[in-house]
Chain A
Amino acid sequence: MKLRDKLEILADAAKYDSSCASSGAPKRSSAGKDGLGTTTGMGICHSYTPDGRCVALLKILFTNFCQYDCQYCVNRRSSNVPRARFQVDEVVKLTMDFYRRNYIEGLFLSSGIVRSANYTMEQLVEVARRLREVELFRGYIHLKTIPDADPQLIALAGKYADRLSVNIELPTQESVEKLAPEKNVHTIKMAMGTIRSKLDESQDKRAPRFSPGGQSTQMIVGADASDDRSILDTAVTLYSAYKLKRVYYSAFSPIPDSPSSVPLAPAPRLREHRLYQADFLVRGYGFQVPELLDADRHLALDIDPKLAWALTRRELFPVDLNRADEAMIARVPGIGLRNAQRIVGLRRHRRVSWADLSRLRCPMQKLKPFIVVSDYRPAAEPQSEQLRKALIEPPRQLDLWGAAA
């Protein structure tokens, strides 16, 4: 099979993993050196495909031959998808050639399970080793970690990779048992635990380098009946137990010859978007999951989770932006972390007014009911229900996450 055919099949097979981050690696430079590649700390998206997702890494499977039968996966063994398999050399050359032309920041390599978890992991590690030790490649490498692989192989993967990830795929043990019979939540957690322990050790400067960009995981949304509350609870469990950098949420999209165990319809992408928003509120703003999902088990689709929270906590508002602390200001719908910081900074010079917020490009309509500034205070308080109706995002914006047609 020609290289181009392999690339087409194995890029197609890898597109369901939504992670494309290329940030978090330590700064490296090849200026005046043999070899190739740099990492600047922040990621660079080198292109975007018409699905709106960025292309930062060459994201491919080493092979899509797979002996597992995960029902949601196009590469499951019972699927009649065309199969291909790269040679180690081919992946190395593709990565270098793409990198030189400035198409990518590096490589994201995953694989179907062939022969055994250890054998599969060895192939991935060998690609990374070749890139680092033979080609002196200093770009970004993300390796998928096969949960049942030997911890020594995981240690070796972390020596070469900037990020490792183990996909949990589904939020509950019951769903994993049902939809991914060969996978096992216990071994997935054990692999994440091994990675976390190595990450902890690598804090010591004398310890060997280990996956400086940390670890991440992915959950498929809408392939099983799990609600948003269990998805976010699982995410929080993983963040704190294994110090994950990111949990990615991927709305399930139907696959060819879909088995009857998974839905035929795609999950709404807006749901995926709301989960990302809620996840960010938990990680960045100090929200607790029960605050965001108090009565309901699902996040609202029509309004964002911070607004939904604020509408149930009307007694906390309006917030006086000239008095409140930064954390509370950041909890006001329409004010992000950066603007909260700027507002507090501005208070050192003068009292914050309506025009200041407007210049900070805050969405004033959204903000209005929730704030007090030097020259503005909301009039009579409307009911939350009315407010909600008024603040629903206009359909044009909703369309952003729907089809472009």
Chain B
Amino acid sequence: MSTRHRYEIADFEAWRRIARELLLAGVPPHDVDWLDVSDSGSHTLSLFESAGGDVSAARAPAMKPNSSADLFSAADVSGADHQQMPSSDVAEHAAPVLRVSRQCLDVLRSAAMFRDAGRWALLYQALWRWQQGDQAAISPADSDGARIHVMVKAVQHEIHRMHAYVRFRETQGERPAGSPQFIAWFEPVHEILRAGAPYFRQRMGRASWMIATPGGIAQCHGEDIEYGPPIPQPPPIDDAGESLWLSYYQHTFNPSRVNARVMTQHMPVRYWKNLPEGKLIPGLVAQANAGSQQLGQTDSVGARKGAPIRVSAARAMPVREAPRTLDTCTRCELGRHATQGVAGIGPRNASIMLVGEQPGDQEDLQGTVFVGPAGQLLNQALEAATLSRDAIYLTNAVKHFKWEPRGKRRLHKTPAQQEVDACRYWLEQELTEVAPKVIVTLGATALRSVLNHARIKLQDQRGRPLRHGDTWVIPTWHPAYVLRVPDPRARTDALADIVAALRQAQALSESDVVAG
């Protein structure tokens, strides 16, 4: 046999106190009638079935001081996912331990702002199920959960719209002491004033403001927000700033794209009456529809006198550094997707030249060879070989970065032989101009390009100086290989190989033995 329980609920806190008592007493949802007596209770929407029947409700009983410290309050202040209810209460009632997750409580608190007479019953039903271990009760795929989510979404939406559509007017001239400088009138559909107002404190700094709504007011004089009972809608203030806004609104509108339906979806008609720009909308739409809808320009701007700018094409052209021919190179397609061609760098009379494969992500951005991670490793190797980077000439076989997109990153891609061939044009110019005694080729691409031999393998040649015309060529690893190889031992060995190659290059460059 069950007894019916009836409660009048004015707000979430009241519901929470009673819900806690009822849970502890093990009262199931169908034994409770909830009556909404919030400020808005008399004009609630009837989206959901409300607690029906002839309810002669009793006010919520006053709580004992210690228990009114709130059932779920522990969950509010701590970040923990699950909170045990205050033990004093539990002991007192010898009732089961109540647990509620912070997320669940947040969902219920938001849903409670939804102005609907049936909300308290629904929330208790969900909470009851949660207590029974049925956590799907607040899942959007659950039947109760779906309704709650609709409410939460609507409430969040309304808070967002309050942040967007509140319009302050500035009080002109002298103000009576204590009266705010900026005043707004806003009519939210749900009970969101307290949830929505704190944003304006962050926004307005020390300015004093008031947002009045039919359900109450929020005001702030640079410190904390005070909430108060409703006041009559303030008479509109004549604000010069507002008329500039109206001008802006009309002119940022593009009549050739008129699409009132989308506007109305985002900014429903019910907000228009409190938006200064609202009264312009019908006229703008009518005008746009009456016109050809071809031009984006507002008619009033088109009607003004205008004039072309008298500047010759030659003078208008920005002064730019003449592009290095490398930047305009179209011998292959790589330049299209790169930022810039990256030329070699170093003394024109250097006796050692290092040739790598191609610029990487950083080289492409900075326009300099060997400045990325591989470049840093190369610096280490040069230091270990006691070679000064400034004394040698550094370049790449291919001058543009070849890559493919991987999400928001660029992934290095080995250049194709025809791209290497196309780019040899540039490398040969550098070889002729610098005429080094020794070339250290880093990686297979560089080796193939320098020897102009497409099928030669690095593994067959590595570590042995080769004679190539008048030059010594020393093939070794590319530093990027060292970064890539997973085994730490192999990594150390590879780096040592590069250092050895560099030492050998130095020795050969200083010797009088001429290759060939």
Contacts and interface: CB of A to CB of B under 8 A. Distances in A.
A236 interface: yes
A22 to B, nearest CB: 11
A78 B320 contact: no
B254 A15 contact: yes
A84 to B, nearest CB: 9
B262 A400 contact: yes
Nearest to A68: B316
A51 B257 contact: yes
Given A97-B244, A102-B168, A196-B365, A29 B339 contact: no
Contacts of B164: 44-47
A8 B247 contact: yes
Contacts, number: 285
A7 B146 contact: no
Contact of A97 (B207, B241, B255): B241
A74 interface: yes
Contacts of B306: 79-83
B309 A67 contact: yes
A190 B247 contact: no
B298 A8 contact: yes
Nearest to B256: A253
Contact of B252 (A33, A59, A68): A59
B202 A82 contact: no
Interface stretch (A124-132, A153-161, A179-187, A387-395): A179-187
A240 interface: yes
Contact of B309 (A36, A58, A77): A77
Contacts of B295: 253-256
A400 B263 CA distance: 10
Interface in B218-250: 222-223, 239, 241-245, 247-250
B139 A12 contact: no
A14 B182 contact: no
A356 B241 CA distance: 51
Interface in B195-216: 199-207
B266 A15 contact: no
A239 interface: yes
A31 B166 CA distance: 18
A349 B164 CA distance: 38
Contacts of A193: 339-340, 364-365
Contact of A50 (B203, B288, B323): B288
B266 A45 contact: yes
Q: Interface size class for chain B?
A: 35 or more
Q: Tell me which of A58, A65, A68 has the highest count of chain B C-beta atoms within 10 A of its own C-beta.
A: A68
Given A100-B204, A181-B313, A359-B140, A243 B408 contact: yes
A37 interface: yes
Interface residues of A, number: 101
Interface in B264-285: 266-267, 275, 277, 281, 284-285
Interface in B145-199: 146, 160, 163-170, 182, 184, 199
A270 to B, nearest CB: 12
B261 interface: yes
Nearest to A186: B327
Given A8-B251, A182-B318, A193-B364, A101 B202 contact: no
Interface of B: 135-136, 139-143, 146, 160, 163-170, 182, 184, 199-207, 222-223, 239, 241-245, 247-263, 266-267, 275, 277, 281, 284-285, 288-289, 293-298, 300-302, 304-309, 311, 313, 315-320, 323, 327, 336-337, 339-340, 364-366, 403, 405-410
Interface of A: 3-4, 7-9, 11-12, 14-16, 29-38, 40, 44-55, 58-59, 65-69, 74, 77-83, 94, 97-98, 100-103, 113, 116-117, 136, 148, 173, 181-182, 184, 186-187, 189-190, 192-193, 196-197, 236-237, 239-241, 243, 253-256, 266, 269, 286, 342, 345-346, 349-350, 352, 356, 359-360, 399-405
6 contacts: A37-B205, A52-B259, A100-B204, A101-B170, A116-B318, A255-B296
Given A49-B249, A404-B285, 15 more contacts: A12-B251, A32-B205, A47-B267, A47-B275, A50-B285, A74-B297, A82-B301, A82-B306, A101-B241, A103-B167, A148-B320, A255-B295, A255-B296, A269-B257, A401-B259
Closest 6 CB pairs of A and B: A52-B262, A30-B205, A49-B253, A82-B304, A52-B259, A77-B309
